[in-house]
Amino acid sequence: VLPACLLLALLLLAPALAAPQERGLIFNLEIGELCLQSAQCKSGCCHRVSGLSLARCASMAAEFQECSPKSIYGVYYKCPCERGLTCEADRTIVGSITNSDFGVCKDPQDSSRR
CATH number at residue 71: 2.10.80.10
Positive or negative, the Cα torsion across 51, 57, 61, 65?
negative
More confident residue, 102 or 7: 102
Number of domains in the chain: 1
pLDDT surpasses 90 at 11:
no
Strands 46-47 and 56-57, sheet pairing:
antiparallel
Asked whether residue 2 is domain-assigned, the answer is: no
The whole-model pTM stands at 0.70
Asked whether residue 56 is domain-assigned, the answer is: yes
**Cα distances (angstroms) measured from residue 89 to each of 6, 18, 69:** 48, 40, 7
Please report, as a single letter, which amino acid is at residue 53: S
Asked whether residue 15 is domain-assigned, the answer is: no
Asked whether residue 65 is domain-assigned, the answer is: yes
Asked whether residue 100 is domain-assigned, the answer is: yes
Asked whether residue 4 is domain-assigned, the answer is: no
Q: How far apart are CA 29 and CA 92, in angstroms?
A: 31
pLDDT, tens digit, for every residue of 21-62?
565 679 999 999 999 999 999 999 999 999 899 999 999 999
Structural domain that includes position 51: 26-112
* Chain centre to alpha carbon of residue 107: 20
Is residue 75 within 8 Å of 55, Cβ to Cβ?
A: yes
Asked whether residue 87 is domain-assigned, the answer is: yes
Q: How far apart are CA 90 and CA 101, in angstroms?
A: 6
Other beta carbons within 10 Å of 74: 16
Is residue 13 within 8 Å of 7, Cβ to Cβ?
A: no
